[in-house]
């Protein structure tokens, strides 16, 4: 694979394993309403399109009818619990070392996530990833978030002199692939994440761990 000049990362399920923290926060909301706790497997299926859709999917999975007012209130409650629970996730092993080597190799890095901006940047800071990023674009500061390509293009604009053809999107979800391809970027699928799309797109390069990104780009191993 030709080495890109810029790499755009998804966050949850690509750089960070946020599902346990997200699940704890959702289940705090559910416990207050005497609902059956959600399983880790279910939570992973609901992640990827921002907190409001997460809560809507969780409610549907719990057999609840659509209720926009309740969904808004429960999303706000979820975000409060999520912020109280700590940084909001754990780093995938090797992510810091990989980002450090990518930057040393001359690549510009950024994060494009449907997670709210403040929560995303707080997580990047807490896990030591922020110093390697030129920036982050959360799903709440753009008019349309992934799978809309304008979200990816807004992130691409953080780079200096990197056109879409000179950048790659690294992500685990269908929304990452759809947004990147529509924006004209190449894609690398993180099969270890939550999206489960590697089998659906055998035409795309796949990494089984974040560390696999280095040899894929010809940067070497550590």
Question: What is the DSSP code (8-state) at residue 193?
Answer: S
b/e 106-143 (16+ beta carbons within 10 angstroms → b)? ebbbbbbbbbbeebbbbbbebbebbebbebbbbbbebe
Name the E strands within the chain.
6-9, 16-17, 90-91, 108-112, 136-137, 167-171, 186-190, 206-207
Which of 10, 148, 176, 212 is the catalytic position? 10
User: Which are the contacts of 18, defined by CB distance < 8 A and separation ≥ 6?
Assistant: 11, 12, 47, 88, 89, 90, 115, 123
- Torsion, CA 32, CA 33, CA 35, CA 37, rounded to 10: -30
In this structure, the strands spanning 16-17 and 167-171 are: unpaired
Contact 147, 175 (CB under 8 A): yes
Side-chain half-sphere exposure of 62, counting CA atoms within 13 A: 23
10 is catalytic: yes
Q: Among all residues, which ones are annotated catalytic?
A: 10
């Amino acid at each position: 694979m030709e080495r890109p000049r810029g790499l755009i990362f998804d966050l949850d399920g690509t750089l960070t394993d946020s599902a346990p923290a997200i699940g704890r926060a959702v289940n705090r909301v559910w416990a207050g309403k005497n609902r059956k706790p959600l399983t880790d497997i279910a939570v992973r299926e609901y992640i990827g399109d921002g907190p409001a859709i997460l809560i809507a999917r969780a409610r549907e999975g719990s057999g609840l009818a659509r209720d926009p007012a309740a969904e808004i209130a429960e999303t706000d409650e979820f975000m409060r619990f999520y912020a109280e629970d700590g940084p909001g996730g754990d780093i995938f092993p090797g992510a810091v070392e990989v980002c450090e080597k990518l930057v040393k190799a001359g690549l510009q890095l950024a994060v494009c996530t449907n997670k709210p901006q403040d929560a995303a940047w707080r997580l990047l800071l807490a896990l030591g990833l922020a110093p390697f990023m030129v920036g982050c674009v959360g799903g709440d500061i753009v008019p349309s978030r992934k799978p809309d390509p304008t979200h990816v293009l807004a992130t691409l604009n953080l780079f200096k002199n990197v056109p879409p053809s000179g950048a790659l999107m690294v992500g685990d979800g269908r929304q990452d692939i759809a947004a990147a391809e529509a924006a004209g970027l190449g894609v690398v699928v993180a099969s270890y994440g939550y999206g489960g799309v590697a089998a659906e797109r055998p035409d795309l390069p796949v990494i089984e761990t974040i560390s696999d990104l280095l040899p894929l780009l010809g940067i070497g191993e550590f």
